[in-house]
Amino acid sequence: MTSHSSHPHGLELHNAGQFYINGEWTSPAVPALLPVINPATEEVVAEVARGSAEDVNRAVAAARAAFPGWSATPVAERASILSKIHALILERKEPLAQALTLEMGAAISFSRAMQVPLAAEHVRVARDLLSTYRFQTVEGSTAIEREAIGVCGLITPWNWPLYQITAKVAPALAAGCTVVLKPSELSPLSALLFAQLVHDAGLPPGVFNLVNGSGPEVGATIAAHPDIDMISITGSNRAGALVAQAAAVTVKRVTQELGGKSPNVMLPDADFAKAVPLGVLSAFRNVGQSCSAPTRMIVPRARLAEVEALAADTANALIVGDPQSPDTQLGPIANEAQFSRVQAMIQAGISEGAKLLCGGPGRVPGFEKGYYTKPTVFSEVGSAMRIAQEEIFGPVLCILAYDTIDEAVAIANDTVYGLGAHVQAQDLELGRAVASRIRAGQVHLNHPAWNPMAPFGGYKRSGNGREYGVMGFEEYLETKAIIGFNA
């Protein structure tokens, strides 16, 4: 039976209570549902099927059976299907954007301009790579062959739901792998629309499978499954560690993109009038719910007062409100647990003696319902404070002061994380020198354009492996050496 769910914004969700396994929509082995809450209203807007180990086993069996055929498919054929998926994402941009706004509260303008188009880009990149990538290279008498690793278990987060799905699914399919996807149970609606879209693009049965459910039930089963060859997870450090532990027994490859506490180093010659507002907007993009958000602004002590005024003015000007309103810049925090966490961290900043420039605890005036949070900026933050060390994942910025460039670099690196970093400098040579000293997987110099080919991933506790571009694609490949190939 097809479960059907619709809501005020005209988004039609067929199959909400089903999984996509082996090319068809199918009911869970044990009937059970998970509510999906609209963070703008705190109301249940849909219910999705809650998976169990039995559902994962069915999905893995389908992916296993489909693997020999799909991995042997000509590269041009895989590229053709990825082209169709890319076209369908753009064609169905509006329902996808509406689903994202409904399930995790992104402002509709942000869903349309960023969440959906950037997700489509990951598919385009994977498709385009297939026309240039050399799966076999020969040096002397040895051939090096790169071939699909096998069945991939993909676990995606709630903050960039569609974007993180395409960042994993597209390169996996391009490589010739088959997949079992577990989207976040907190924002699963866009994933259901994506599964239908993949089906409509003509992907053979079993190549892509989707099972909704909780981390402890579905995620843990995927991680430990003996017939899954690789896991790619984007999520919290806690979830990443649990998945790696469960996967270790069967010695599968695990790539993890986990937390971050990214620094934004303003060098003394930076254009502060331009760089500070951009820094605040970058930190608060997606309501601060990005693992690489530059939430620690590291500035020269002599310029602290100027930075405080610019940062507070920028934060205070942001329009927080109903994500369906075209004027809204920041919608609500995506779910109740995260809202509570952000509130607790704002309180911790105050308790630790940081200087509150704007925002603060409590709901946004005029919004008694919905997980709306005041854009908050702290100054005079010490590197040892919790707000400087722990990932907050909300619209909270910490300003830390330095006296020397060596001290600025030391503060930037004073974190267990190492995902993203920003450096602002008019002297590009100085900017590059500082960028090379920061222990992070991606450093942005002077707010460059987003580059979907640039590898993304972390040093230290921010993870293992890389996503995006060639390096992200190669995570889904095994390496075989054939010696005596040209003997």
483 in helix, strand or coil?
Answer: strand
**C-beta neighbour count of 355 within 10 angstroms:** 14
Cα four-point dihedral sign 253, 257, 261, 266: positive
Report the alpha-carbon distance of residue 473 to residue 129 in Å, rounded.
8
CA distances from 167 to 23, 164, 379 (A): 21, 5, 35
Distance of CA 313 to CAs 36, 252, 305, 316, Å?
35, 49, 12, 5
Q: Which of 291, 308, 398, 474 is catalytic?
A: 291
- Active site includes 467? no
Tell me the H-state helices in 352-468: 386-389, 405-412, 428-435
> How far apart are the C-alpha atoms of 210 and 193, rounded to whole Å?
11
**Is residue 257 flagged as an active site residue?**
yes
AA identity, residue 102: L
Region class of 186: left (phi > 0), else alpha (psi between -120 and 50), else beta:
alpha
For 483, other C-beta atoms within 10 Å of its C-beta total 10
Cα gap 160→145, rounded to integer Å? 34
Residue 159 near residue 206 (C-beta atoms within 8 A): no
Tell me whether residue 486 is exposed, middle or buried, using C-beta atoms within 10 angstroms of its C-beta: 0 to 12, 13 to 18, 19 or more: exposed
Q: How far apart are CA 44 and CA 113, in angstroms?
A: 26
From the candidates 103, 185, 257, 391, which is the catalytic residue? 257
Alpha-carbon distance of 302 to 272, in angstroms, equals: 12
Give the separation between CA 435 and CA 275, rounded to whole angstroms.
16
Catalytic residue set: 257, 291
